[in-house]
Amino acid sequence: MSRQRNDILQGTLVLLVLKTLSAQGKMHGYAITAHIQRASADLLRVEEGSLYPALHRMEQDGWLRAEWGVTEKNRQARFYVLTAAGKKQLATEQESWARLTEGVTRVLRYA
C-alpha cells in the first residue's frame, strides 16, 4: 500500500487535541479525530491507537475533564472539556510550536 503517511508527529497530538477542544467546546473522542482530519483538509489523520491513551494522560494531568453523555444518535460516549490548566497548557504548547516551526523554516531556508 503506497498511501502517504500523515501520522501526527509525536507530541503535536496533545496540541491538536487541546486546540480542538478549545475551539469546539465539549467533544467525544471520535468527534475530535473527525475534526482534526476535517480541519487539516485530510492532511493529518489521528491514529486511533494513540488518541485514547493521550486523552487519558491529559485527563490525569488535569488538562481535560471527562464525563459520560449521550450523542445525537443516542449512543453512550465520553465527552471531554478543556480545563483552566488545559487552556494554559494550550498557550504554552502553541508558543513552543511556533518557535519550532520558525526554527525549522529558517533552517530549511538558509542551511
Residues near other proteins (CB under 8 A): 28-30, 33-34, 48-49, 52-53, 56-57, 60-62, 71, 73, 75-78
Least distance CB 39 / other proteins (angstroms): 16
Specify the residue, 25 or 53, whose C-beta has the smaller distance to other proteins: 53
**Other CB atoms within 10 Å distance of the CB of residue 27:** 20
DSSP state of 111: -
Least distance CB 92 / other proteins (angstroms): 14
Query: In degrees to the nearest 10, what's the CA dihedral of 20, 26, 28, 32?
Result: -10
Least distance CB 23 / other proteins (angstroms): 20
Tell me how long the chain is: 111
Specify the residue, 61 or 102, whose C-beta has the smaller distance to other proteins: 61
23 residue type, one letter: A
Name which of 106, 104, 111, 94 is nearest 11 in CA terms: 94
Specify the residue, 48 or 109, whose C-beta has the smaller distance to other proteins: 48
User: Is residue 100 helix, strand or coil?
Assistant: helix
Least distance CB 10 / other proteins (angstroms): 10
Specify the residue, 2 or 109, whose C-beta has the smaller distance to other proteins: 2
